């Protein structure tokens, strides 16, 4: 009887998870890119936040600020509200502590927004769908850009470091 009950519970949980495969999958990717960007912000030394690969490119801090702004803007759409004032303030941030904290705050805001999104809501309008996908796609694009800044600075990017740690455990 216990085995049947356990099997029933597993099937039920699997069925509930499968009801929102889009949002469940996006949450997984959101968590990964969040971890990569927040870890990158921590790993880069404060004196490198103004670093640019070339004079015409954004600084490391500018990339993180851009992610912060878009997170607040996109997730405000998911929450059906106006973007918080922190979105506008992010553009002027320069120092590691404030840039890193604003980035973390924007990801927390998105984490809260994602709790309100299921598959039907994610595809309810073009604006919502774009915002929903953008928080994963855009942040991955930003991460791809800052990886170059980190490598040139002699820092192993978090995603590479994580893969190396996994290989070491095997």
Q: Is residue 6 part of a domain?
A: no
User: What's the total number of domains in the chain?
Assistant: 1
Flag whether pLDDT at 91 surpasses 70: yes
Residue with tokens 């192993």: 156
Q: Is residue 25 part of a domain?
A: no
Q: Is residue 149 part of a domain?
A: yes
Domain of 141 in residue numbering reads as: 52-155
Q: Is residue 113 part of a domain?
A: yes
pTM of the complete model: 0.85
pLDDT confidence of 19, banded at 50, 70, 90?
confident
- Six-digit token string for 6: 């356990």
**Environment class of residue 33 by beta-carbon count within 10 Å: exposed (0-12), middle (13-18) or buried (19+)?**
buried
Stretch 103-126: mean pLDDT, rounded?
Answer: 97
Q: Is residue 130 part of a domain?
A: yes
Task: Identify the CA nearest to 39 among candidates 89, 125, 107.
Answer: 107
**Environment class of residue 138 by beta-carbon count within 10 Å: exposed (0-12), middle (13-18) or buried (19+)?**
middle
Q: Is residue 139 part of a domain?
A: yes
Q: Is residue 46 part of a domain?
A: no
| CA–CA gap between residue 41 and residue 140 (Å, rounded) | 14
What does the pLDDT look like over 116-165, one tens digit per residue? 999 999 999 999 999 999 999 999 999 999 999 999 999 999 999 877 66
Query: Which residues lie below 8 Å from residue 102, measured CB to CB, with a gap of 6+?
Result: 64, 65, 68, 86, 89, 90, 93
Flag whether pLDDT at 1 surpasses 70: no
Residue with tokens 């994602």: 114
Task: Identify the CA nearest to 145 among candidates 42, 45, 46, 33.
Answer: 33
pLDDT computed for residue 10 by the predictor: 44
Q: Is residue 34 part of a domain?
A: no
| CA–CA gap between residue 115 and residue 79 (Å, rounded) | 10
């Amino acid at each position: 009887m216990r085995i049947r009950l356990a099997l029933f519970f597993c099937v039920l949980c699997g069925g509930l998870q499968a009801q929102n495969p889009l949002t469940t999958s996006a949450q997984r990717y959101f968590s990964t890119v969040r971890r990569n960007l927040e870890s990158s912000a921590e790993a880069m030394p404060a004196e490198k936040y103004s670093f640019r690969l070339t004079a015409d490119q954004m600084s490391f801090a500018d990339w993180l600020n851009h992610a912060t702004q878009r997170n607040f803007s996109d997730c405000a759409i998911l929450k059906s509200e106006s973007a918080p004032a922190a979105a506008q303030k992010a553009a002027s941030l320069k120092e590691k502590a404030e840039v890193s904290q604003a980035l973390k705050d924007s990801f927390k805001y998105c984490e809260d927004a994602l709790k309100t999104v299921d598959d039907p809501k994610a595809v309810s309008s073009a604006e919502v769908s774009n915002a929903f996908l953008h928080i994963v796609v855009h942040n991955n694009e930003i991460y791809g850009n800052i990886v170059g800044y980190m490598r040139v600075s002699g820092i192993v990017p978090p995603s590479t470091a994580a893969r190396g740690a996994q290989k070491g455990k095997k």
